Chains A and B, each alone.
Chain A
Amino acid sequence: MSMKNNNQKLILGIYDDPDKVLAATRNVRKAGFDIKDVYTPFPIHGIDKAMGIQRSRLGISAFLFAMTGLLTAVVMMVYMSWGDDWEINIGGKPNLHIPTYIPVTFELSILFTAFGMVATFFIVSKMAHGKNPTLMDIRQTDDRIVIAVNLHNTGDSDAINKIFQSNGALEVKERDLSI
């Protein structure tokens, strides 16, 4: 991949305080710079608004998976208990015994929702077992928060550095990322 030599220049601001990160993120965005991402060891409340991240639509996928599960369960049970092959008379109950379909329908809806939504999450977030992450700083999963800004124009470096510093960055550094 590095053969393409398609390097991405980044400027990183390293912090240890979520409030400072929020302020820095807001200011960097306000100044019109392109924030690549903010890497944090724990979820920061309000960072999505500061970065301008849209609300995820994974909820819709959850609903669709739930409906798939529901339909699968109902079709399966109706087919199996109402087919013309072996109609079993159990306790004189009708063959289309709707009340007893409730538990299995419920369970399969939940099962499909959970697995479908989590799988979608992994795909959307490009996560896979054994994948090697590109870390900005080895401590970003521990006790440091990193704001990574795309440096489209080397001249912007100073301006961003200033915003980072004035919002209490512990360290600011530039980095080339080969993609």
Chain B
Amino acid sequence: MAHGHEHEVVIKDEKFVMTAKDKRVSMILMGGGLLLALIGILTNHSEHEMLMKRIWANLLADGYFFFIISICATAFIAIKAIANAGWHTSIKRIPEAMGTFLPFAAAVLIIVLIGGGSEVYHWMHHGITDPTSPNYDKVIAGKSWYLNQGFFWGRLIVFFAVWIFITRKFRKWSLQEDIEGGLSFFDKTYKTAAFFTFFFAFTFSMFSWDIMMSIDTHWFSTIFSIYNFATGWVSAITIMALTAIQLKKRGYLSIVNEDVIHDLGKMMFAFSIFWTYMWVAQMLLIWYANLPEEVTYYLDRTKNGWGFHFYLNLALNFIIPFFGLMTRTGKRNTWWLSFVGCILLFGHWNDVYLMTFAGAMKDHHGISHAPGWGLMEFGFLAMFVGGFIYVLLTSLSKANLYPTKHPYIMESALHDVGV
């Protein structure tokens, strides 16, 4: 019974110290990753244009993947706040710290869009909306009211600005609460969270169309934004669980009991199913209706060597978490949960990889052949992982590891999943 344990939980300031080894590991990941990617680029023998497409697509896929993870961490804070949930309070600093990666991911996306936009995005190809140009594409010209540089950049900058602003506010208020206490920060967060959730739902939709869906400019799917949200959301929760487990292993976060980890495991399980639901909804309906303007998306992603990634997607993101996290033991054994979590993250990276590359790597005939995973993919991925870890740990070390004066902190410390 919870009442009996109240005296055992001590809420105190707890600071994370980033060790020299942490710094070294993230530096090695970043530097080594870059080196691997460079070797991959230099030893690549495909024609220049395809090579450039591949480099930009790599940066885009990784940048997008870590962007949606970071913004979904903020969405996690917002949604938990409006749901009045208390159980997650002891790990709340982790999503707050994840959000600090947002400006870096946004910078990567902006660099890709400026530097490689015309390589990757069909609609940014030169002369595509100009009827006199040999590149003219009537369908894409019909979309230029939405997909034009001015409007595109305008909305993107607004989204980035508002999202980063609110993310920083959430963290700032939370840190201030540690010092000043009281309910004012809690109330402010609640109100802002309501606005953010509403704003985010609409803007994230457009963001996913802009960055991901418009790669295959002809194609469209109404569920696309929710599908992308599911990808980011489940990955963000997985990273929270992995981070909490690692911190506990080092003797930090003693306040986070195994029931909180169990609930994070439940969410990983549940939202893997949710992701699968979105995956099936999109695939089944398009496959069933078999309309030429829609079904090409899946043809591009199952033929010419992409089939491997397509089926791997389902295996890593549905089958493994479904059977792996179904049992209570599966969610409570931290070693196993971390193992499945890593598979899940890789699986969702593969999902973003497939979405990006199959559209971006099209040759002159509009056909893309899977280049396969090489040094470039793993190198860039390692670089991003290193950068993300570095930013995450640095932010974690700058504040208490859990909010000490949050009104729900005791609920979280005494959290019990019951049966």
A interface list, Cβ under 8 A from B: 19, 22, 45-46, 55, 59, 63, 91-92, 99-100, 102
Contact assessment for B284 and A45 in the assembled complex, using a CB-CB cutoff below 8 Å = no
Pair count A-B, CB < 8 A: 24
A55 to B326, CA, bound (A): 16
**A8, chain B: closest CB distance, angstroms:** 29
User: Contact partner of A63 among B288, B326, B418, CB < 8 A?
Assistant: B326
Question: When A19-B1, A46-B1, A63-B326 are in contact, do A91 and B280 touch as well, CB less than 8 Å?
Answer: no
A147 to B184, CA, bound (A): 47
Closest 3 CB pairs of A and B: A46-B1, A99-B284, A99-B287
Contact assessment for B283 and A99 in the assembled complex, using a CB-CB cutoff below 8 Å = yes
Contact assessment for A19 and B288 in the assembled complex, using a CB-CB cutoff below 8 Å = no
**A60, chain B: closest CB distance, angstroms:** 9
Chain A residue with the shortest CB-CB distance to B416: A45
Question: When A19-B3, A63-B326 are in contact, do A102 and B284 touch as well, CB less than 8 Å?
Answer: yes
Chain B contacts with A in 250-292, Cβ cutoff 8 A: 280, 283-284, 287-288, 290
B interface list, Cβ under 8 A from A: 1-3, 280, 283-284, 287-288, 290, 326-328, 416, 418
Contact assessment for A99 and B1 in the assembled complex, using a CB-CB cutoff below 8 Å = no
Q: Which residues of A contact B287 (CB under 8 A)?
A: 99
Q: Which residues of A contact B2 (CB under 8 A)?
A: 45
Q: Which residues of A contact B328 (CB under 8 A)?
A: 55, 59
A73 to B326, CA, bound (A): 21
Contact assessment for B327 and A45 in the assembled complex, using a CB-CB cutoff below 8 Å = no
**B74, chain A: closest CB distance, angstroms:** 33
Contact assessment for B283 and A45 in the assembled complex, using a CB-CB cutoff below 8 Å = no
List 16 additional A-B contacts (Cβ < 8 Å) besides A99-B280, A100-B284, A100-B288: A19-B1, A19-B3, A45-B416, A45-B418, A46-B1, A55-B328, A59-B327, A59-B328, A91-B288, A91-B290, A92-B290, A99-B283, A99-B287, A99-B288, A102-B280, A102-B284
Chain B residue with the shortest CB-CB distance to A92: B290
Q: Which residues of B contact A46 (CB under 8 A)?
A: 1
Q: Which residues of B contact A55 (CB under 8 A)?
A: 328
Summarize B's interface: helix, strand, loop or mixed. helix
**B55, chain A: closest CB distance, angstroms:** 35
**A73, chain B: closest CB distance, angstroms:** 15
A163 to B283, CA, bound (A): 64
A46 to B416, CA, bound (A): 10
A114 to B283, CA, bound (A): 28
Q: Which residues of B contact A91 (CB under 8 A)?
A: 288, 290
A19 to B283, CA, bound (A): 53
Chain A residue with the shortest CB-CB distance to B326: A63
Chain B residue with the shortest CB-CB distance to A46: B1
A22 to B2, CA, bound (A): 12
A100 to B1, CA, bound (A): 48
**A22, chain B: closest CB distance, angstroms:** 6
User: Contact partner of A45 among B1, B280, B288, CB < 8 A?
Assistant: B1
Q: Which residues of A contact B1 (CB under 8 A)?
A: 19, 22, 45-46
**Can you pick out 10 interface pairs between chain A and chain B where the beta carbons lie within 8 Å of each other?**
A19-B1, A45-B2, A45-B416, A45-B418, A46-B1, A59-B327, A63-B326, A91-B288, A99-B284, A99-B287
A81 to B230, CA, bound (A): 34
Q: Which residues of A contact B327 (CB under 8 A)?
A: 59
Chain B residue with the shortest CB-CB distance to A91: B290
A99 to B285, CA, bound (A): 9
**B225, chain A: closest CB distance, angstroms:** 22
Q: Which residues of B contact A102 (CB under 8 A)?
A: 280, 284
Q: Which residues of A contact B416 (CB under 8 A)?
A: 45
A55 to B327, CA, bound (A): 13
**B240, chain A: closest CB distance, angstroms:** 26
Q: Which residues of B contact A22 (CB under 8 A)?
A: 1
**A93, chain B: closest CB distance, angstroms:** 8
A99 to B284, CA, bound (A): 6
